[in-house]
Amino acid sequence: MKTVVTNNTSRALTLVELLISIFVIVVMAGLLLPALKRPPPAKRVNCLSNLKQVGLAFRLWSGDHGEHFPWAVPTAEGGTMEYVASPEVIRHFAILTNDLSSPRVLSCLADEKVSREANWTNFQNSNLSYFVGLEADESKPQSILTGDRNIFGGVIDSNGIVNFGSNSLPRWGTDIHKGAGNIGLGDGSAQQVNPQTMRKQIEAALLATNVAALRFAIPNPDSK
């Protein structure tokens, strides 16, 4: 009778085999990680949708007022020109009552300093998450129309308007979209931007509008 001898001794990996295994794991991780990247946070996507709706509303309003946005039209003609230097930034948005179904879209879900308001009668700065670009022009697609209020890096003038020139270094606060932001452009589109792409967009808007600085009327959520 034959005796079968089995060998249960396992062979250890050589250094070369170990290095090859590590290399394969690194390569596989590099191929799989891009597919596993998380999509943008839902609140930021919702904010982007808000700005698209606001952009469309401003364009509809502009179409009824000689292709000008509210802050370029005197109050006697239905605009908000006299409120350009006012802290009541809401004036520029409240004029959209016929073009926006509710002021709720003017509050970003990620903005914890503001509350959502469904009634235009009660609409205040504490319900507003977005600034308006006072150089925005519907005929200049690259001009900046709106954006998240937590933008910094500009020069504040005596009227509280924040000016961004070619040498400005824009940055976003971390309280809304974690150091990034959303903006709406003069053509009604909206896009997500980081500080670097925002600077490039400011440069493009300066070139398009041919001004020394872009003026942003930014709401203070702590004021009415």
- Sequential DSSP letters for 21-38: HHHHHHHHHHHHHHHHPP
Query: Which of 221 and 182 is assigned the larger pLDDT?
Result: 182
Least confident span in 10-14, 93-97, 184-188, 200-204: 10-14
Query: Which of 2 and 114 is assigned the larger pLDDT?
Result: 114
Please choose, from the candidates 54, 46, 189, 191, the residue with its C-alpha nearest in 3D space to the C-alpha of residue 111. 46
Q: How far apart are CA 63 and CA 195, in angstroms?
A: 32
Q: Which two tokens stand for residue 23?
A: 């290399």
Least confident span in 3-12, 18-27, 57-66: 3-12
Report, as an integer, the average pLDDT of 164-187: 94
Report, as an integer, the average pLDDT of 71-100: 95
| Confidence band for 42, pLDDT divided at 50, 70 and 90 | confident
Q: Which two tokens stand for residue 215?
A: 């003026």
Please choose, from the candidates 75, 100, 99, the residue with its C-alpha nearest in 3D space to the C-alpha of residue 88. 75
What residues contact 92, with CB distance under 8 A and at least 6 apart? Answer: 70, 71, 80, 83, 132, 217
| Confidence band for 35, pLDDT divided at 50, 70 and 90 | very low
Least confident span in 21-30, 41-50, 156-165, 202-211: 21-30
Alpha-carbon dihedral sign for residues 207, 129, 117, 123: negative
Report, as an integer, the average pLDDT of 194-214: 96
Q: Which helix (H) or strand (E) holds 156?
A: strand 155-156
Query: Which of 189 and 37 is assigned the larger pLDDT?
Result: 189
Query: Which of 198 and 19 is assigned the larger pLDDT?
Result: 198
* E strand segments, 171-219: 171-172, 181-185, 190-193, 213-217
Confidence at residue 129, expressed as pLDDT on a 0 to 100 scale:
97
Least confident span in 14-28, 141-155, 192-206: 14-28
Is the model's pLDDT at 2 over the cut of 80? no
45-71: b (≥16 Cβ within 10 Å) or e: eebbebbbbbbbbbbebbeeeeebbbb
Report, as an integer, the average pLDDT of 82-99: 94
Please choose, from the candidates 132, 129, 127, the residue with its C-alpha nearest in 3D space to the C-alpha of residue 184. 132
| Confidence band for 119, pLDDT divided at 50, 70 and 90 | very high
